[in-house]
Amino acid sequence: MRTRTISRLAVLAVVLLSPARAIAADKQIRPFVGATFGGGTTFVDLENAAGKPNLVIGVTAVMLGEVVGLDLDLAHAPGFFQSGDRHLVLASGVTTLTGNVVLAAPGRKTEYALRPYFVAGVGLMHVHIDDYFGVLRVAKTMPAIDLGGGALGFITNQIGVCWDVRHFTSLKGTTQEQGLSLGGEQLSFWRASMALAIRY
């Protein structure tokens, strides 16, 4: 299943970067910063940090038509499993890569106002945990899904601002590896972000 997911993401990337398909589309790059929150996991969370707010940075490539579009979203949350005061985890992070279908309010009707949109897609989630004792180390890549929405507004013809909230969930594993999780491996969390939208 992981191979199929990677193949689909590769096809999506080609489509997003294809000049022939993008002639009539609004093409954007959106570097963003935000926070994860409301997380839950079956991985051993030594510092009880998964549910706490955590910095996230990333970038989204978007090709948006009048109503329907596509985006490729890459994000990294360093220190996801670290609370900052217990030092039981030396290093950790969660990285997501998803390809999404975008449904937006019609472009002609929202040209000078905020343009709301919804997104849904599939991709990969990589979890990394390096604990102080060296016995609960995790380096796991899992298929994942995401669902969310946001609003986009342009200040000039080229530069805008985007607010976005998405929920990410890994597809639950069927195995428990080396006592690293309580049941099948799974992680879910919310992400709220603000991006600079750049048309190109």
Q: CATH no. for residue 104?
A: 2.40.160.20
Q: Please state whether beta strands 54-64 and 26-41 pair in parallel, antiparallel, or not at all (unpaired).
A: antiparallel
pLDDT at position 129:
94
pLDDT digits (tens), the chain, 200 positions: 555 655 565 555 555 555 444 446 899 999 999 999 999 999 989 999 999 999 999 999 999 999 999 999 999 999 999 997 778 999 999 999 999 999 999 987 777 689 999 999 999 999 999 988 888 889 999 999 999 999 999 999 999 999 999 999 999 765 555 545 666 789 999 999 999 999 99
pLDDT at position 160:
95
Tell me the three-class secondary structure of 21-33, residue by residue.
HHCCCEEEEEEEE
Q: Please state whether beta strands 89-104 and 115-131 pair in parallel, antiparallel, or not at all (unpaired).
A: antiparallel
Which of 91, 95, 77, 177 has the alpha carbon at shortest distance from 131?
A: 91
pLDDT at position 21:
45
Q: Which two tokens stand for residue 143?
A: 């298929």
6 Rama sector, left if φ>0, alpha if ψ -120 to 50, beta otherwise:
alpha
DSSP secondary structure letters along 81-99: T--SSS--EEEEEEEEEEE
Place of tokens 């900052």: 84
What domain range includes position 168?
Answer: 2-17+24-199
- Please enumerate in sequence order all residues whose Cβ is within 8 A of that of 111, keeping only pairs 6 or more positions apart, or say none: none
CB atoms within 10 A of CB 80: 26
What is the spatial distance between Cα 160 and Cα 88, in angstroms, rounded to a whole number? 41
Instruction: Please state the pTM of the whole predicted model.
Output: 0.84
Q: How many structural domains compose the chain?
A: 1
